[in-house]
Amino acid sequence: MTKYSVQATTSSPYINFDPDSKSFEIKGESYPENCWAFYSPMFDWLKSYFSSINGSPVEIDMEIVYFNSSSSKTFMDFFEMLDDQAELGKNIVVNWRYHEENESAMECGEEFMEDVERIKFNLVEFTD
């Protein structure tokens, strides 16, 4: 399967899902004008990817500096999809990375973590 990659813009994050290197990353700010249009291809790629793997673990690193309410809803849909895949037996880990000074990102990560049931959700603080 080919990788899925989108370069960051001022309002959308860098996305790199590379099944060969087992690197899955979403990084940057997220407030695109049409959130669903931006993230829909990512959802489609992931659905296809999950149907092609068996027990291979999937670890997704997310480092979102800022996001709007539309992105928040989309991220919840994303985590629900991952939870559904975990229920089907997929081993999924999300690493929610936040800078030590970004309390808002930490709190959002805590809220997302409370809403997932089957995926492992790690809060990962980092410094400069």
pLDDT, tens digit (0-9, with 9 covering 90-100), for 15-69: 999 999 999 999 999 999 999 999 999 999 999 999 999 878 999 999 999 999 9
Position 12 confidence tier, pLDDT thresholds 50, 70, 90: very high
pLDDT on residue 54: 80
Evaluate the CA torsion angle 35, 40, 42, 46 in order and state its sign: positive
pLDDT tens figures, 104-123: 999 999 999 999 999 999 99
The whole-angstrom separation of Cα 96 and Cα 101 is 15
Q: Which pTM was predicted?
A: 0.94
Contact 6, 27 (CB under 8 A): no
Helix, strand or coil for residue 105?
A: helix
The whole-angstrom separation of Cα 118 and Cα 85 is 9
Mean predicted confidence (pLDDT) in 84-93:
95
Find, among 66, 127, 19, 50, the residue nearest to 75 by Cα: 66
Q: Which domains are present in the chain?
A: 4-126 (3.30.750)
The whole-angstrom separation of Cα 20 and Cα 70 is 31
Residue 128 has pLDDT above 90, yes or no: no
Name residue, tokens 């370069």.
Answer: 7
pLDDT on residue 56: 82
